[in-house]
Structure 1
Amino acid sequence: MKPLKLCIGIDVSKDTLVCCKGSLDPGNRISFSKPRSFSNDHEGFAQLSGWIKEESCPEIRFVMEATGVYYENLAYWLDSRGSQLSVILPGKIKHYAKSLNIKTKTDTVDARILSRIGLERKLDSWKMPSGAMREIKFLSREYREVKAKLVVSKNQLHAKMHSYGCPPSVEKRLKKQIGLLETQLLEIEAEIRKTVMADNTLYDRINRIVTIPGVGFMTVMSILSETNAFVLVKNAKQLVSYAGLDIQHNRSGLKEGKTKISKRGNSFIRNALYMPALCASKRNPSMKVFYNRLIERKPAKKIGITAVARKLLILIYTLWKNNEEFEPERKRSRQTDDLPTQDEHNVLLQ
């Protein structure tokens, strides 16, 4: 019997692709094939394509888990050939497996779970980032890494300068290292700006967002590159969850556990927002009022900074979506203006 839908679940590792074909027949019955393994390279991709060509089905979808960077080569290869592809976050697959009461975790089991979720649910298709956005993502992550090294080197220099009997050669090398890292930061930022300025539309939209007090060019570029310019973001709630700034409750009966942010999301976005939130809480008039009202209700600065970071993220998304500049006096929706609920006061920042 000809299947109505065919879904290929692919469990990706550094060297191997474990694949399982799942099919849905006209009677809504689901069946799975015996898993096959292929190498995670172009030769393996071609063999996988040949394996799928054996099937005749009007709808074929590939489903894989976002496992670091190892899935990317196959994802780009499939997308370039017009295949329907969905890439799912690991947390979503984990909870789906729990709902099936599956306790075993192997590559073959994971491939079957990915195939099943593709058959049972309507999944969003993966959108390939543009060449410019891919380049900006690499550069913005490198910028954060170099900046972290610079902070470490400066702290080491401070410690050496205040230590007794530290050889001058040690200080000299550290200062040289700091100079090199500072030069690299300038080079990376210049390269990002050059890439952005090549696209006039992108450049204009970014200039509108940086009108937010406390939000700089590199912060905006980090958030845009990590979200692929919000291509798959449907609403602010989804974006907050993707950044790991959503609230995680811990209550049951008489138990009143600790409520905090989930941190189950993109840590690069949270890191990029921390300093802008700190700056906005002091320099941005509307954010300063918002922050001070939070602190008055509960004197915990970390909670206030987290709330400001989340508010900034939603504001950036709103301005990008509407292609607008920041207007301090404009009344915005309740979603971005109102104080958090009592539970949100218990949010903790990484």
Structure 2
Amino acid sequence: MEHTTQHSAAPAPNPGVVVGIDVSKDRLDVAILPGGEAFFVKRDAEGLDALAARLRPLAPEAVALEATGGYETVVAATLGAAGLPVVIVNPAQVRSFGRALGQRAKTDPIDARLIAQFTAMTRPEVRPLPDEATQRLADLVARRRQIIAMIVAERQRQKRFTGRKPTPDRLQKSITRLLEALERELSEVDADIDTDIRGSSAWREKENLLASVPGVGSTIARTLIAEMPELGTLDRRQIAALAGLAPWTRQSGQWKGRSFIGGGRAPIRAALHMGAITAARHNPALKTFRDRLLAAGKPKMVALVAVARKLLTILNAIIRTGKPWDAKPA
């Protein structure tokens, strides 16, 4: 029977014990330091429960996962809900660390151990999830498992009906409709888990990269992470259009009007507007960019929108490359 597990308080962290987890679609490779213990579990509900039960008595000071593009969020949510100190690390930094150690082999156990070694050496900040966030993640993970169990049951029923003579069309259609509804619900729950993890204190990689830019604080960084998962995957024109910062011109026949911005995602545009105001004062590169526009006769609001667009372009490039702000002129 599916239920929400109530976890007791996690044991006090054991200094020196670090866990590295390499996440793939179907499995989790795990390495524990010190000692070098390595094992793997399936990336499903049973595997995650077994992993949490195995790690909790160790009371690790950090359980580190690489940002893998989505597969890590349910893992992080499950382990975080179990009271484990989860931290998401930057894969580019882990790879650079590995090259510095002279590691060239590409096998999952080595990757898991490398993540653990990187975490033990660099000591990324681990901030425990608040109790309410932990409980919400536990509830979301439990609901996800319930939905998956219902999907599995309906698919088994669908399979039993396949090939029967006469074919029970009404039942098949009913099962198909229910499966479609359950798949939609699963997608929504997955999106909620993804948003919660990316906005949580466990998600350090993107937040730290974004906040490296003067003018971008944690609120703006977390808004971008939650509201614009495409950041780093699109070119500068596409990302500006997505935020509603790409200029467009009113035009009718021979008449061509002023350029405007609009559409896109209002929360992102509002966050970037506030970031642009701060950056135009405290970010030397963007202040120079704004002053150059004003000197050319651009209205203040037009210049501010251009700064917001430039700021978004910089942030997009930072996430794409995995490299923090380096203060080069804009």
TM-score bin (small chain):
0.3 to 0.5
Higher relative contact order, structure no. (Cα contacts within 8 Å, ≥ 6 residues apart): 2
